[in-house]
Structure formats: C-alpha cells, structure tokens
Amino acid sequence: MRALIIGVGQCGTKIADLFALVDFEALAINTSRGDLDYLKHIPHERRILIGEGLTGGKGVNANPLLGREAMKRDLPMVMRKIGSIIGYEDIDVFFLTFGFGGGTGAGGTPVLAEALKEEYPDSLVVAIGALPLREEGIRPTINAAITIDKLSKIADSIIAIDNNKLKESGDDITKAYERINYTIVERIASLLALVDVPGEQTLDASDLKFVLKAFGSFATIGYAKADANKVKSLSRLIMKSFENEGLYLDANIESALYGLVAIHGPPELLKATEIFEALDYLTNKIRGKQIFRGFYPDPREREVEVVTLLSGIYESKSIEEIVLTAKRYAQSFMKAKKEAEAKKKKLLSGLPDFDDIYP
C-alpha cells in the first residue's frame, strides 16, 4: 500500500511534516516561504512555494481566492514535482492535508484534488482537513463551507477533523493544534501501518480503498488503546473506538455506509468470539452494513490497539453547523448589501451634475 501525503497551506504542511517524521512520503505546498522554512522533517526539495508572483512568498492572508489562484498558476510545476516523486510505482491513496478555514489550503486543495483525479484516475484522493474553531469568527466558517462543497464533488472521502471537538477547554491554541495534529497522524499512521500486514485476517489496500471510495462523503477515524492486563472486555474496547468521543467529528455513525476495524494486540486477548460479537453488533448498527476486519495477534505486544474507519457518513452536526452558519450569514449579508445599494441609489438620485450648476 503506497500513500503520498500532500500538505497544503500552514495547517496542512504542519500535519504533513508529522507524517514525514513517522516515515511517510510527504510533500509540502504553501504560498508562504516562512511557513515552509519552519517545517522540520519534509526534505527541502519536497517543499513547494506556489503563487510567488502573486504574493511575493508572503502567504495569502486567509484569502481562498488567492489560494486558488496561486495553485492554478503553479499547477504544472506542482504536478511535475508530484510525478517525479511518484516515479513508476502507483500510488493507492493521495492524502491531502489542510485547514478548511484558511486561504492557501481552502482555496488550493480542491484545485489540486481535481488535477490529481484527472492525472491518476486509479488512485484515491482523500482530503484530511481541520474544521475551524467557533471562536475564529465567520470568515473561516464561510471558507470551510465553500471548500466542503467543492471537495464533496471531487474527493473520494473527506476526513474532517473538528478542532472544536479535540480542543480541551482551557488549552492554549498552539498547544491544542500541536496535540490535535499528533492525534490525527497517530491514528492514520496506526491504520495504514496495519494494511497489507500478515495477520489472522488481513486488511489489504483494496479493502481500505473500497471503504474510502465513498463519493465525497465524510469519513472518520476512531481509536481505542489499553494495557493488555487492564482489558476486561475486548468487545467493549472495540465499541469504544466507534463511540463519539473516539471520533474526530460530531457525526451520526449509524449513517455510515462502510466500516473497517483493525485490532492489534497479544494473541491471548484477541478472542474470536468477542471480536465477532462486537463486529456483528456494529455491522448491524451502520446503514451500509459492511465492515471490513483485520486481526493482528502479536506475541510481543503488551497493549491492545483498535483503529476504526467509518465512511459514507452524511449526518454530522459538526458539518451541518458550519454549512448552516455560512448559509445564514451569506443570506443576511446579501440582504444587507441589497439594502445598502437601494439606500445609496435613493439618497443620491435627483442630484444634478456639475454642468447643471456651473453653466
């Protein structure tokens, strides 16, 4: 299974940089030279500055129109670079990481996703984006809503991470982001690390691709981990990984179409009866009734780790809140704009021109 992580914008490149730290193939794309310099693990030749003629390497100041334009202008250069990294061996999944609320990521990611789909039709394009915090205000919410709409028409799945949900109250924002980014990478890396690995029941790349090929709907990753000697019930641990606090997104998991569960731990704990009991329960719970499974007994392991992926989700409070807030704002803004135009017209109508007064 070969994945290429492409970070776009500040948030996206920070997340991609962590993927590089745990040995994933990753590259970084940004309009800000300073933000690219700040990365630690992605090699310099894999950091791409876009839109230099547009912004002078200074970023787009959270303006997605500029982010889109920067990506469009430099797309041939970006695609050449990606082609040179890929070489002759196919990519199974492109993971595009970005922040939904900013400019470079929000504007540029849909453009890049479309180009990748066109050039690599057999590879999946999965967007991994952080949703803005409520306290960031209306612009990030609007950027997010529009980007959700665009990506839902291009990407195979959108793994949305609700920053609100992962930010513990009282956390300093930089620390919160850092922790959120680690959590994202840890979970996705744990999942990918188990694909194609020999086990009692093995998940292969085609299972993962099947689950992620979900017509641009939402996907979410759950996780549960416990010391082997503290696990009282494995089925409880599996279910916990599906529960809301384990997920990145406030979503109704029952609306999911597909699921995938990977369980890794000491052989004496991975009891088939308990695993099947939990998986049967969960299979019946989701609307699509299909759950792929992989069990990986490992005698060296002292912990039990469960990673779950649910896809085809279309009911999510996190997403609804963003889209409805953006729509309400857009409606009231358009109304206010119309009123201002009408008022201006009324106030200024009937004024003479200079030549009427100064013959």
**Residue span binding ligand GDP (CB under 6 A) among the ranges 6-14, 199-207, 215-223, 277-285:** 6-14
Smallest gap from Cβ 93 to ligand GDP, in A, equals: 20
239 versus 251: smaller Cβ distance to ligand GDP: 251
Q: Is 132 in the site for ligand GDP (CB under 6 A)?
A: yes
135 versus 245: smaller Cβ distance to ligand GDP: 135
Single-letter amino acid code for the residue at 78 = V
Q: What totals of helices (H) and strands (E) does the chain contain, helices first?
A: 14, 10
Measured on CA atoms in the order 84, 86, 90, 91, is the torsion positive or negative? negative
67 versus 312: smaller Cβ distance to ligand GDP: 67
Residue 277 labelled as part of a binding site: no
Window 9-28: contact mask with ligand GDP (x via CB under 6 A): xxxx-x--------------
Q: Is 147 in the site for ligand GDP (CB under 6 A)?
A: no
The answer to whether 31 and 70 are in contact (CB under 8 A) is yes
The answer to whether 256 and 222 are in contact (CB under 8 A) is no
Within 62-101, the residues that bind ligand GDP by CB under 6 A are: 62, 67, 99, 101
Pick the closest to residue 188 from 120, 275, 126, 115 (CA basis).
126
Measured on CA atoms in the order 250, 252, 255, 257, is the torsion positive or negative? positive
Q: Is 104 in the site for ligand GDP (CB under 6 A)?
A: yes
Helix (H) or strand (E) holding 52: helix 52-55
Question: Cα separation of 296 and 284, whole Å?
Answer: 23
Helix (H, G, I), strand (E, B) or coil at 142: helix
Smallest gap from Cβ 195 to ligand GDP, in A, equals: 24
**Residue span binding ligand GDP (CB under 6 A) among the ranges 73-81, 131-139, 219-227, 330-338:** 131-139
Binder of ligand GDP out of 25, 52, 114, 136 (CB under 6 A): 136
Q: Is 48 in the site for ligand GDP (CB under 6 A)?
A: no
Binder of ligand GDP out of 18, 60, 261, 286 (CB under 6 A): 60
Smallest gap from Cβ 37 to ligand GDP, in A, equals: 14
For 80-112, give the secondary structure using H, E and C. HHHHHHHCCCCCCEEEEEEECCCCHHHHHHHHH
In eight-state DSSP terms, residue 45 is G
Annotated binding site: 10-14, 103-105, 136, 163, 181
Annotated binding site for GTP: 10-14, 103-105, 136, 163, 181
